[in-house]
């Protein structure tokens, strides 16, 4: 899932680089050595990513960030991505329905949160 740059601080690239450097470009879960900048990439599962432990892109504190290979990052975020996709589908479905009741009985508030 592509990242929404608007949700990240302007210096995200520098923050992410520092996390990867501190980890020695190794995945903290499976311990695979990931590619460093400038190395030719042959296996995209070994590309380093910086993950938010609490899935909150606004929280970029060092205690909330971890270096993961792309495979482990996808596995780590799997439940969050599924939840987000289901929420988007329900939100779209709800908006496509003919409203039977006027507000405040429209779209549930938790679906309106981004």
Of all residues in the chain, the percent with pLDDT exceeding 70 is 82
Sequence-distant (6+) residues with CB within 8 A of 64 are 52, 53, 54, 56
Summarised one tens digit per residue, pLDDT across range 1-37 is: 567 788 888 999 999 999 999 999 999 999 999 999 9
pLDDT exceeds 80 at position 59: yes
Sequence-distant (6+) residues with CB within 8 A of 17 are none
With vertex at residue 41, the alpha carbon angle to CA 38 and CA 42, rounded to the nearest 5 degrees, is 155
Cβ distance 67 to 27 under 8 Å? yes
Give the mean pLDDT of 89-103: 70
pLDDT exceeds 90 at position 45: no
Top-confidence residue, 109 or 15: 15
pLDDT category, 94, cuts 50, 70, 90? confident
pLDDT of residue 69: 95
pLDDT of residue 47: 93
**pTM for the full model?**
0.72
């Amino acid at each position: 899932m592509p990242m929404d740059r608007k949700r990240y601080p302007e210096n995200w690239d520098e923050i992410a680089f520092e996390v990867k450097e501190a980890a020695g470009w190794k995945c903290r879960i499976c311990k695979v050595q990931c590619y460093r900048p400038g190395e030719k990439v042959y296996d995209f599962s070994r590309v380093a990513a910086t993950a938010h432990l609490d899935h909150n892109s606004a929280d970029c504190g060092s205690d909330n960030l971890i270096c993961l290979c792309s495979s482990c990052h996808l596995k780590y975020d799997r439940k969050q991505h599924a939840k987000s996709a289901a929420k988007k589908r329900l939100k779209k479905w709800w908006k496509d329905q003919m409203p039977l009741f006027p507000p405040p009985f429209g779209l549930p508030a938790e679906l309106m949160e981004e």
